[in-house]
Copies of this chain bind each other. A is one copy, B any other.
Amino acid sequence: MSLTNLDLVNECDGFPYYETNPDVYLARVESYYELCISGYDYALGFMLPAVAEVFRGVPHWELDDEEQTLTLTEGNDAASRTAAIDKTLLAVRSTGHFKVLDKWRNEMYPVYGLNKELLFSVERSASPLFGVVTYGVHLTAYVKKNGETWVWIPRRAKTKQTYGGMLDNAVAGGMATGETAYESMVRECGEEASLSEELVRKLVKPVGCITYFSVRGEKAGGETGLLQPEVEYVYDLELPEDVILKPNDDEVEEFYLMSVDQVKTAMAQGEFKPNCALVMIDFFIRHGYLTAENEKDYIEIVQRLHRRFEFPTL
């Protein structure tokens, strides 16, 4: 197996585009239900009909088969909407109907409106059921030796439920309601890579974000076909040679220090967790390792790492 960088992008950004393929796009979108809340006339996510069906007749929800919308009718602020959704999800979870809810995380993910206001929060494991935009932080830690770049790459524990044994970014995590990207990153650096807060605050650099629209496959665990538009804030951390990254919990098996070519080879062999491969592609583009001259799909890749969504974002 040898994957191109565009193959890697396709794996994460699998939802069709209206611009380049309107017929396929419209056929797909017309097959979904839109997640809405009372008083707001726009969609917050796309849902599979089989998922929306589970909410039929449930108090506080209205399923409209004509409009293909599922609307939360309860609550007039973030707290009351969040409580109503949580109550429904706990009941649904107890039935064992959705496999994704078996991995209940007790982490609340924010969902924003067009004015960047928090509309509600939703349990992390349930977010792909609703197809809402989720937010995370990814960091690339690297070292310069004689002008060459070496990247710190962890291998996920084989026992991890999702993408077990695959390669990852040095630090990555989801952003819960109330967290800023920067503080979330600093916290994860300590939790995941044993990096001191002082060092991270001194050296970490925010360098943009990548955005892509995934259709969940087998390896993500749980139901397939669920829709997941994601925003990952991206950070670079150039470390001194004497700082050694090591696991701080049992989620990471080991850290490797890999050359750019070694990382590229591992990516082409499909060894990286898919969205972590995209963070590496973005890193290689920003650092001049992937160029218009050596990557034939350069423009499309840059565009698709920064997809605009149908739904509001922060």
Contacts and interface: CB of A to CB of B under 8 A. Distances in A.
Contact of A231 (B182, B296, B299, B309): B299
A299 B314 contact: yes
A229 to B, nearest CB: 10
A305 B308 contact: no
A313 interface: yes
A70 B102 CA distance: 56
Query: What is the total number of copies of this protein in its complex?
Result: 2
A285 to B, nearest CB: 5
Interface in A23-71: none
Given A292-B180, A293-B182, A303-B211, A308 B17 contact: yes
A190 to B, nearest CB: 19
A96 interface: no
A303 B296 contact: no
Interface residues of A, number: 38
A307 interface: yes
Interface in A268-291: 285-288, 291
A288 B147 CA distance: 22
A299 B19 contact: no
Contacts of A309: 19, 303
| Residue among A208, A286, A296, A303 facing the most chain B CB atoms (10 A cut-off) | A208
A209 interface: yes
A233 interface: yes
Contacts of A314: 292, 299
A292 B181 contact: yes
Interface of A: 17-20, 116, 180-182, 205-209, 211, 231, 233, 285-288, 291-293, 296, 298-300, 302-310, 313-314
